[in-house]
Amino acid sequence: MIPSGLELIDGYRRRELSPVEVVRSVLERIDRLNPELNAFVTLTPDLALEAAREAERAYADGRAGPLAGVPVSIKDLTPTKGVRTTWGSLLHERDVPDADAPFVARVREAGGVIIGKTATPEMGWKGETTSLVHGTTHNPWRHGRTAGGSSGGAAAAVAAGLGQLAQGGDGAGSIRIPAAFCGIAGLKTTRGLVPRFPPSGSALSVVGPMARTVADCALLLDATAGTRTLAGVDEPVDGLRAAWSGDLGYAAVEPEVREAAERAARLLAEGAGLAIADDHPQLDDPWPFIDVIWAANQASDHAENFRQVRELLDPGRAEVVARGLTIPATAYVAAQDARAGYELAWDGFMAGYDLVLTPTVPVTAFLAGTDNPPSVAGRPVAYLSWTAFTYPFNATGQPAATVPCGLVDGMPVGLQIVGRRGEDALVLRAARAFERLSPWTYNEMECG
């Protein structure tokens, strides 16, 4: 039985657990399971044990921070002072930053024990985790299936018990896709709630928490965003208004996935006292303008050197960069204007609802090492267009959580819970309400 972060903290305070012993146990589990999963790119055992010893002293002295002694992993797109950060790219394979990103600095300040850097595709470009630096990350539920992406290493690590908390990043679903595929909880935070480094001009990407439990997500959010979410995560959500949509009016989704998510939504409504209606905004698929923003954003990394470095890039990403370099500034501005209009339209819709419930991802985990599923419900897809429930809320900046809600053919399915901007705490309360109604188990997972 893998203890949660909150359970570890309780054990530390009672002097029933030792941070040093816990961290050693996690490192031993990583040694045993990571060769098969390939969730970590870089491990920091010496630094982790040093932080664990400091946490042990802090508990003895009565000065322990909110994450003291809790193992945390950091996505390899996020700079860590003195620790290799590859960005999943051969161009950065040996980079060692001289400063922490804000998220990392806050984890350290809170006493969290950083155990290593988790795998990501090059520059987080896709919803699957394979890179030329580290190879392919596998799903703990079934070897040979993807862990999702781009925070696939983080999700696989948490699901397999290789640390309690993980930092993810989400520009089109990169927290929610792998969390759903691996059967864990994750939160795409409200745009701007947690400082992100490097800053993104795309207005799409955020960083946020991933964990086995919703309460642990709240714990990590509070430590990195300065919020007080955990204190109210068990408060009731009865009387709130929720909209359920199985397709947002345009999305292809596998029928079994839709059915599992709808059962979960109805269970949440009935069990937690939500008023639920079948509804969604009358809006077209936002992918066309999101695609322009994403492609231009990827291309901006190589505006000066693409010809020289193309052969070192992930072939799929190189195609996106090549296309992005042809996008004129006027088209990029038009796409950002469309994004702003889309955000306003969702604001209008959310005036009538507190929450929106959808499937998180329209399929279960596809083959590891492939950039995307070959099709969804018989409809061909490419790049990120297949993840049609996640990218809308990167465009709007709204908080969106995923919580595991069932299995289809033995692989996890997620329920997505979306709220108004700034209402991350409410989203996590609703996710926690579902978690209490439908407790999740990892007993069927292949990885021990």
Query: What CA–CA distance (Å, rounded) separates 181 from 390?
Result: 13
Residue 15: φ, ψ to 5°: 60, 25
For residues 72 and 41, give the distance between their C-alpha atoms in angstroms, rounded to a whole number. 14
φ, ψ for residue 127 (rounded to 5)?
-90, 35
State the Cα angle at 180 between 175 and 185, rounded to 5°: 70
Catalytic residue among 75, 117, 126, 188: 75
* Torsion angle in degrees (nearest 10) through CA of 317, 197, 342, 289: -20
**Inter-residue contact 205 to 194 (CB < 8 Å):** no
18, 73, 131, 174: which is the annotated catalytic residue? 174
The token pair at 389 is 């429930």
> Is 205 labeled as catalytic in the residue annotation?
no
Structure tokens at 219: 């714990």
CB environment 245-279: b (16+ within 10 A), e (fewer):
bbbbeebbbbeebbbbbbebbeebbeebebebeeb
Tell me, yes or no, if 75 is annotated catalytic: yes
Q: Radius of gyration over alpha carbons of the chain, in Å?
A: 20
* Residue linked to tokens 């696989």: 156
Burial status of residue 193 (CB atoms within 10 A of its CB: 0-12, 13-18, 19 or more)? buried
* Residue from 89, 150, 205, 385 carrying the catalytic annotation: 150
Tell me, yes or no, if 150 is annotated catalytic: yes
Token pair in block for residue 237: 């959500």
For the annotated catalytic residues, the residue numbers are 75, 150, 174
